Amino acid sequence: MAAGDEVFEPEVTPSAKPLAAGRSTTHRDPPSAPSWLPSALRSEWDDLVERASSLPTRLNEYGFDPFGYDPSYTTSLMLPILFFYRQWFRVETNGLENVPKGRVLLIGNHAGNTFAWDGAMLAASLFLEGAPPRVVRGMAEYYLPQIPFFNVLMHRMGSVVGTPANCVELLEQDEAVMVFPEGQRGFIKPYTKAYELQRFGLGFLRLALETDTPIVPVGIVGSEEASPGIARLDSLGSWVGAPALPITLTMPWLGAAGMIPLPTKFHIRFGTPLHFVGDPNDEDTTIERHVDVVKDRIRGLVREGLAARNGWFR
């Protein structure tokens, strides 16, 4: 355990579930730069290719891992993400060194309304700034795979449907798994509730106990302002199979252009790892006490991020 890590241990401590000893590494030939790519961006492309080539993956003969992740997508789609990360949102990270090697649960506050820019920027931070780079596996809401085209995209980029079985299997392979316990409650909300943490689900904490996985709390500032919400329409959401539909400053007034986020400045803060020990099948009241510890740490990191910024765009 690294210095600064914290352990939360109740009286009953069952043995941890044995995890896989390691991962095999398979690589495909790196993709060539697109012919249309300006020469000024070729060095950026080469850096993305180099980082992607160092990612440990288990690929089948068709180039996919067991969950449908395709490393070749990482380079191609990370190029526009790079623009949003460095130029549009001007992401500033703090405490990235707190993310340990091996399996880890990244637990953060959630916002977005139109698109999960918080998740995209969090994942990009570990790929673009991590040493070594890492792929962050997202735990997607159950309704997201029903969206045409996006369902394939999310799997190719490494995200999976957020079932306990999927999460356990990823952690057993020493992956970094990103979870937003507020779910759609945090994602779709009016700006009057900005940075007010909504109810957290308990599943992530039970999985941390089951797999003996450290939790790194993450506070994200900037995502609430990227698409500020005016209202949340639950009834309309049910018509399209979503939990709710948001009304924002730009949606639906600007049509498809309303999906473009405001160029707010993102601050992402990584806290020190938290280690919880106990029975994953404990009563909800016991698990909730652990969840409250994580929630309080995230709330503190968000406060630090808010204090560090000077308005929405700086």
Q: Calculate the dihedral angle through the C-alpha atoms of 76, 81, 87, 88, rounding to the nearest 10 degrees.
A: 140
Q: pLDDT per residue over 70-90, tens digit each?
A: 777 777 788 889 999 999 999
Q: pLDDT per residue over 178-206, tens digit each?
A: 999 998 899 999 999 999 999 999 999 99
The first and second tokens of residue 228, run together, are: 């500020």
Strand partners, 159: none
Give Cα 193 to chain centroid, integer Å.
21
CATH 3.40.1130 fits 70-306, yes or no: yes
Domain spans, the chain = 70-306
Give Cα 182 to chain centroid, integer Å.
12
Question: Quick one: 61 exposed, middle or buried, by C-beta within 10 A (0-12, 13-18, 19+)?
Answer: exposed
DSSP H helices, the chain, are 42-53, 71-83, 117-128, 150-156, 164-172, 184-187, 203-211, 223-226, 234-239, 284-308
Contact 113, 187 (CB under 8 A): yes
- pLDDT classification of 63: cutoffs 50, 70, 90: low
Integer Cα distance of 108 and 220 in angstroms = 7
Integer Cα distance of 258 and 117 in angstroms = 14
Pairing of strands 136-140, 176-179: parallel
Integer Cα distance of 272 and 301 in angstroms = 11
Q: Does residue 108 carry a pLDDT above 70? A: yes
Q: pLDDT per residue over 236-271, tens digit each?
A: 766 766 778 889 998 888 988 989 999 999 999 999
Pairing of strands 160-161, 176-179: unpaired
Please state, as a whole number, how many other Cβ atoms lie within 10 Å of the Cβ of residue 196: 13
